[in-house]
Chain A
Amino acid sequence: EVQLLESGGGLVQPGGSLRLSCAASGFIFSSYAMNWVRQAPGKGLEWVSSISGSGGNTYYADSVQGRFTISRDNSKNTLYLQMNSLRAEDTAMYYCARDYSGNYPRGADYWGQGTLVTVSS
């Protein structure tokens, strides 16, 4: 059974940093691209970032480019999102989601339950 478990969310001040983690199990982690997708309170879904199965290719939304860094450790079956220079508009539930592609982001076939990030003073 595919399982994705996010952690690392919380309350942070504007300008601060957080590192999200997503522990994956139930599939060959290195064979799949992985995504972070967020959802602001009461709003729709927004793709944030993706990384290929090997980790060699990364992709970012313009809204987080230069502030967020996606990475993965295939030996630990874990996905990360380092978030720096956080802004109030980054407040959202952050979902880790497996892509059904191995390389280029196409679609998220399995999702974690999410971790909430709140940016506020």
Chain B
Amino acid sequence: DIQMTQSPSSLSASVGDRVTITCQASQDIRNHLNWYQQKPGKAPKFLIYDVSNLETGVPSRFSGSGSGTDFTFTISSLQPEDIATYYCQQYDNLPPVFGGGTKVEIK
């Protein structure tokens, strides 16, 4: 199975800060990478597909980039409502695998 390694596992930042999360695949997954947001006690929400395409309704402060094995998720200006755990997920090979998650908190 492909392994997805996210870092950091948690971070604390101030409102307005730029936040960056990385996701590394154990092998080339081309552009077959999605990102999700999960708020405490809630179901995950689909944010970004195919590395950099924002799902309809997702604020433009969220973005994604990368290819092959190294990917980045960015919040350009952290807002209080962005407090959540973020997951990457590959679908290049079965099984689909999620990263371990990055918990984002407000400093």
Contacts and interface: CB of A to CB of B under 8 A. Distances in A.
| Chain B interface category by residue count | 20 to 34
A47 B1 CA distance: 12
B89 interface: yes
A2 to B, nearest CB: 11
B46 A59 contact: no
Interface residues of A, number: 23
B95 to A, nearest CB: 5
B95 A108 contact: no
Contact of A100 (B38, B49, B96, B101): B49
Interface in A51-93: 59, 61-62
Interface string A31-64: 0000001000000111100100000000101100
Interface of B: 1, 32, 34, 36, 38, 42-46, 49, 55, 87, 89, 91, 94-101
The 7 closest A-B pairs by CB, nearest first: A111-B43, A107-B34, A45-B98, A47-B96, A109-B46, A106-B91, A44-B101
